[in-house]
Chains A and B, each alone.
Chain A
Amino acid sequence: AQSVAQPEDQVNVAEGNPLTVKCTYSVSGNPYLFWYVQYPNRGLQFLLKYITGDNLVKGSYGFEAEFNKSQTSFHLKKPSALVSDSALYFCAVRDSGAGSYQLTFGKGTKLSVIP
């Protein structure tokens, strides 16, 4: 079974400061990892993914994430937060094992960037 944990329900950060949203995962095979963002009353918007290769992946809007296999983590980061980054962030995993195409999501982390 695959699972994702986002240990923080909410993260507050001052505008201009670096931000980190944490994610850990559990899969039986190799993980495919994703971050999505959700703005109020909107669907999920894809930010970035890790499939294979370089552990540091860069995505939309200046976000990046680092895959750490030994810690089974995939934390989302941004060097300088914007007020417009305030939203709900979801980490998701898909097991690379054959026949598993569904995404399993974490509970989400609400990011608030304070002006």
Chain B
Amino acid sequence: GAGVSQSPSNKVTEKGKDVELRCDPISGHTALYWYRQSLGQGLEFLIYFQGNSAPDKSGLPSDRFSAERTGGSVSTLTIQRTQQEDSAVYLCASSLDLADYTQYFGPGTRLTVL
């Protein structure tokens, strides 16, 4: 079946602009996770959703980052006033629910802030 999809695959933006990254989880998966992969920091957890609720926002690096999920499916990660240190690959994952241990990852969105 279809896996996790993310769009765009690549995004180049100028410092100070806002960007939106999209994640479409595996059909039927109620839990959704965002991670960031960068050379300096490795893989970092950002936020997770169970349904439309995000009970743990502790990983968001600053208040410029926000995420939402509507309809229990697609999620959008928004970065406002982008900075060069935001350049990274943003990975989305989903699992059947929070009790399901295995997270399945999408191909990622490579964000470059000039």
Contact = CB atoms under 8 A, between A and B. Distances in A.
A46 B4 CA distance: 13
Contacts of A32: 101
B31 to A, nearest CB: 7
Interface stretch (A12-20, A64-72, A104-112): A104-112
B72 interface: no
A108 B42 contact: yes
A103 interface: yes
Interface of A is mostly: strand
A49 B101 contact: yes
Interface stretch (A21-29, A36-44, A74-82): A36-44
Contacts of A108: 42-43
B112 interface: no
A101 B54 CA distance: 12
B26 to A, nearest CB: 12
Given A101-B31, A102-B33, A108-B42, A45 B105 contact: yes
Nearest to B91: A43
Nearest to A92: B43
A103 B98 CA distance: 12
18 contacts: A36-B105, A42-B107, A43-B4, A43-B105, A43-B106, A44-B93, A46-B102, A46-B103, A51-B101, A90-B43, A101-B31, A101-B56, A101-B98, A102-B56, A103-B33, A103-B45, A105-B42, A107-B42
Interface of B: 4, 31, 33, 35, 42-43, 45, 48, 56, 59, 91, 93, 98, 101-108
Among all A-B residue pairs, the 10 with the closest Cβ atoms: A105-B43, A102-B45, A44-B105, A43-B105, A43-B107, A107-B42, A101-B98, A43-B108, A43-B106, A32-B101
